[in-house]
Amino acid sequence: MLTILYIDEYLVVVHKPANMLVHKSMIDRHETEFLMKILRDQIGQYVYPVHRLDKPTSGVIMFALSSDVARLLAQQFELHTIQKEYIAVLRGFAPQQISIDYALKEKLDPIADKKARQDKEPQEAQTDMFKLAELSLPIPVGRYSGARFSLVKLLPKTGRKHQLRRHMGHISHPIIGDTTHGDGKQNQFAREHLKFSKLALCATKLSFMHPITQQPMMCETALEDDFQAVVDLFSN
């Protein structure tokens, strides 16, 4: 059963578990369970996607319950009037605050995107990052005598594919558990010493204007237990 954070006759907001696909994909053809199917069966009606979360990312995701509402919500995303907030754990001591403005060239999958244009220009991408806490552990990792981590809040201003993961890699503070843009030694350290083997990235908050009632909405979710256990280390 999925955790439903909000539902009415127009839209539904749920918590997406880590490592679950949002919809069926050619990339993971062996996967038989995906979020849209589970949610459809749980609430007994079809749902329309209006944004995405990567498979390894957990957190808040919204679906429309009609094509008309999906169109209205898509317009809000296009106008950047919907705010998303993420919590992440990064390698190293990150800056206290930074605004990243770094265009990203779309990375195409050879299977799923074989019909897409191969010569697209890099797309503008902006992310604001705020450091919440630091953690230092006196355990060697790689060539370093100790392990350092940063707990951060991420506010993407655009919604490019893998934007947060690529932006954190760009500033040399990759997200823990990122097997594509991250640090293999740090990921191994997290598995062995933090007992954490997922991507340390969760969409914790989604703020938007209700497309029908025009009331401001804000939906939040909690971190999953294993992620929360890592975050608790920062306060200890």
Helices (H), 30-175: 35-43, 67-78, 163-170
Q: Which residues, at least 6 apart from 215, have a Cβ–Cβ distance to it below 8 Å? A: 209
Whether residue 84 contacts residue 160, with contact meaning beta carbons closer than 8 Å, is answered with: no
Whether residue 91 contacts residue 183, with contact meaning beta carbons closer than 8 Å, is answered with: yes
Whether residue 156 contacts residue 100, with contact meaning beta carbons closer than 8 Å, is answered with: no
H helix or E strand, kind and range, residue 100 = strand 97-101
SS3 of residue 148 by DSSP: strand
Closest listed residue to residue 47, CA positions, set 61, 59, 27: 61
Query: Which residue in the list 41, 54, 119, 225 is annotated as catalytic?
Result: 54
Known catalytic membership, residue 54: yes
- What's the CA gap between 58 and 205, in Å, rounded? 11
Please identify every residue annotated as catalytic: 54
